[in-house]
Amino acid sequence: MSTLLKVAPTEQLLYGRKSAAEALDLSPGAIDMLIESGALRAIRIGRRVLITAESLRRLAGADRVNVGLPSQLADNRWP
């Protein structure tokens, strides 16, 4: 028997840049900076950049995030 991904029926797994920005109350540009710095995990499907829900939850729970200084995001990088 194979292991299936167990997800709540209403849980969204991936977010577009705009939706992720709204969820975190940030701009899409800030989301791009967080992706580039490694603080947010994103995947590309075709032309779309999608951010994982787990990554958003992890960032929202981070003790400190300084979007203005990407070099200081090292503590919050995705492993």
Phi, psi (degrees; rounded to nearest 5) at 9: -55, -30
Cα separations (Å) of 23 from 1, 3, 5?
36, 30, 23
Q: Which amino acid is at 36?
A: E
pLDDT of residue 6: 65
pLDDT of residue 11: 76
Domain boundaries along the sequence of the chain: 14-72
User: Whole-model pTM above 0.75?
Assistant: no
Which tops the pLDDT comparison, 76 or 61?
Answer: 61
State pLDDT tens for residues 25-50: 999 999 999 999 999 999 999 999 99
Q: Give the mean model confidence (pLDDT) for residues 11-34.
A: 92
Q: Please state, in angstroms and rounded to a whole number, the distance separating the CA atoms of residues 11 and 6.
A: 10
